[in-house]
Structure 1
Amino acid sequence: MKTFALNKNLKWLDFLNPSKKETDELKKIYDFHPLILEELLRPSDRTKVERYNGYLFIVYHLPIYDQAKRSSRRAEIDLLATKSALITVHYEDLESIEQFERYLASDISVRQYQSTAELICRLLRMVNEFSQRELKHIEKKTNAVGEKLFKNQDRELFEEISYIKRDILGFFIITAPQRHILESLMQEGINFWGEKFRPYFMNLLGDFSRVNYLLENLRVSIESYSQTVSQILEFKTSEVVRRFSVLAFLTFPLLIYFTMTLNLEIFKSFTAHPPYYWLSAGFVLILIIVLAFIFRKKGWL
């Protein structure tokens, strides 16, 4: 547990994977509901904002990129806010929490904070800023796909696009509930802390909208690249099929000719009259040349 006293009226407590003993201590100090304390022992499946007598309970999910899986996964921050204390709980080391700690330690202005609403809004803004940074790797990969188009790397691009689309979908699934959570926080927060904090919560919704806007732009871009690559692959496949079809058509007269020579009577006729053989062979050859010339002129070859 980490404790940071901003002033005599305000403090921050942070827990990483709290134990039963630590949640029992919280119960003694703040008289939190037993079900909430039980919930703090493990990550929650859903986000929420709940108001109790004298405090708010918030479960907030955020995306973190997993290098091994090449997709975003879910992390969690739980917040308990009284009028004089902000308690945060998380289940892994989080950059946003570390940044928040550095901010409280280095910025003298935080000593003037008079409400936990200011602390919560500052922390959640850092979480949203982290989400924007997490989108950078998707943006970088999406731009790389655009640069590789038309460079004969279509199959590799198709695989890379599939990973990016899965990453974007995972990011969206994690962040989509944030709008509802932030709207609920604004409603409950104004009731809890007062109308003067409305602009703080509105700023949080603005931060979320920026993240959502960037994510939507990346989704549209990668969908466009995906369609382009699919069209290129379809065109190349149709070109191969077309060329083989033309080649088969050109060789068809030759196939018929050799099939005829397998007939014993026709073979004897060619043997008895050699000029017939060369005339028929020449005719087939001329036919193939004429067809090839026609196909070439029409651009089929």
Structure 2
Amino acid sequence: MSAIHAKNFIWTHLHKPTADDVMEIAKNCGLHPLVAEELLQPTFRPKVEVYDNYLYLILHFPRFDARDSNHGAEIDFIIGKDFFVTTHYERMPALEQFISACENDKRKSKQYLASTGELLYYLLSDLFTDSFRELEKMDKTLSIMKTVIFKERNRDYVEDISLIRREILDFRRTIHPQQSVLHSLEQEGGVFWGKSMQPYLSRIIGDYLRIWHILENHKETAEALHETNQSLLSMRTAEITKNLTMMAFITFPLMLIASLFGMNTLATPLVGARFDFWMIIGIMLAGTAGMFVFFKWKKWI
């Protein structure tokens, strides 16, 4: 448990809070027992609840780990007029950097810690900025993929596209439920802090909507790339099938003539005559050339 003392309130931050930590916070802030119970373990859905002297807010933010999997990291906010409590259960570099800035940078500390409402705004803005950075990485990956898919048509990009589609799906799954929560926060926060806080809350929703629109654009791009890759693979498969079919038909006279002259009969034409071998080879080559000319005439090759 760590605490940052602002002029008008105290910000207490807990990482993986224990029962003793939660009990102390509940006693100092007058938390409802249900809120105290929820602080002990992660919650899988975002929400905002209004109590007599504080707001209880749960949000999830996309987090990418080393295995390229993405899941939401939860932050719980308990926001009163003279106290601000945050809890999280997994390592979040963006949150840790924000806390460090409040502790070590006097200019940012003065700006961020003016009130609990402004602290919430700057903290959420910083976390959304981290999400924007992840979206920029996705955008670069999609741009590279758009280029190479057409340059290297013989390569299968199904796995690469599937990975980026999974990242987008996980990102969407994490942030989509939060839209209604943030709208509720805008309404309840306006009542809790007053009209002066309204522009801050509106900007939070604006940042969220920007993230959502960019994510929707990435989703459409990834789906278009998937369809394009599938079309190129289908064209490649069709071209290979076409070439193999033409080879089979062109070489068909060779096999037919070889089979005919390989029959064990008493009166096979040409067999036994002078230069019979070269005559049969000539017939086979003529048949192959005839099939080739026929395919050319039909513009199949």
> Partner of 2:95 in structure 1?
97
State whether structure 2 residue 33 is matched by structure 1 residue 34: yes
Which of 124-133 and 218-227 deviates more? 218-227
* 2-structure distance, mates of 1:114, 1:150: 53
> Partner of 1:48 in structure 2?
47
Q: Compute the displacement of 1:203 (Å).
A: 0.1
Mapping of 1:182-221 within 5 angstroms? 182-221=182-221
Distance 1:27 1:286, change over 3 A: same
SS in 1 for 2:177: helix
Distance 1:79 1:256, change over 3 A: same
- Is the CA contact (8 Å cut-off) linking 2:63 and 2:72 kept in structure 1? yes
* 1-structure distance, mates of 2:35, 2:154: 51
> Partner of 2:82 in structure 1?
84
> Partner of 1:72 in structure 2?
70
* 1-structure distance, mates of 2:43, 2:267: 85
> Partner of 1:257 in structure 2?
257
* 1-structure distance, mates of 2:219, 2:287: 54
Cα offsets for 1:247-301 (capped at 9, x unmatched) = 1111112222122223333664433555787656534422321221332455533
- Is the CA contact (8 Å cut-off) linking 2:154 and 2:236 kept in structure 1? no
Q: Compute the displacement of 1:119 (Å).
A: 1.3
SS in 1 for 2:17: coil
User: Structure 2: any 5+ residue segments left out of the alignment?
Assistant: none
> Partner of 1:57 in structure 2?
56
> Partner of 1:24 in structure 2?
23
State whether structure 2 residue 151 is matched by structure 1 residue 151: yes
SS in 1 for 2:164: helix
Cα offsets for 1:54-102 (capped at 9, x unmatched) = 111111000011221x132210100001111110001123223223223
* 1-structure distance, mates of 2:106, 2:119: 13
State whether structure 2 residue 230 is matched by structure 1 residue 240: no
Which of 291-300 and 113-122 deviates more? 291-300
Distance 1:279 1:122, change over 3 A: same
Distance 1:274 1:195, change over 3 A: same
Mapping of 1:3-22 within 5 angstroms? 3-7=3-7, 9-22=8-21
Q: Compute the displacement of 1:180 (Å).
A: 1.5
* 1-structure distance, mates of 2:41, 2:285: 81
Cα offsets for 1:221-249 (capped at 9, x unmatched) = 22222222222211111111001101111
SS in 1 for 2:150: coil
Distance 1:108 1:273, change over 3 A: closer
- Is the CA contact (8 Å cut-off) linking 1:27 and 1:37 kept in structure 2? yes
Residue identity over aligned pairs, in percent, reads 32
SS in 2 for 1:187: helix
Give the number of the structure whose residues are more often helix, by fraction.
Answer: 1
- Is the CA contact (8 Å cut-off) linking 2:261 and 2:268 kept in structure 1? no
Q: Compute the displacement of 1:193 (Å).
A: 1.7
Alignment-mate amino acid for residue 104 of structure 1:
C
Alignment-mate amino acid for residue 94 of structure 1:
M
User: Structure 1: any 5+ residue segments left out of the alignment?
Assistant: none
> Partner of 1:291 in structure 2?
291
Q: How many residues align?
A: 299
- Is the CA contact (8 Å cut-off) linking 1:96 and 1:123 kept in structure 2? no
* 2-structure distance, mates of 1:137, 1:297: 52
Q: Compute the displacement of 1:197 (Å).
A: 1.5
Mapping of 1:143-182 within 5 angstroms? 143-152=143-152, 154-182=154-182
Q: Compute the displacement of 1:114 (Å).
A: 5.2
Q: Compute the displacement of 1:116 (Å).
A: 1.5
* 1-structure distance, mates of 2:13, 2:267: 97
* 2-structure distance, mates of 1:196, 1:223: 43
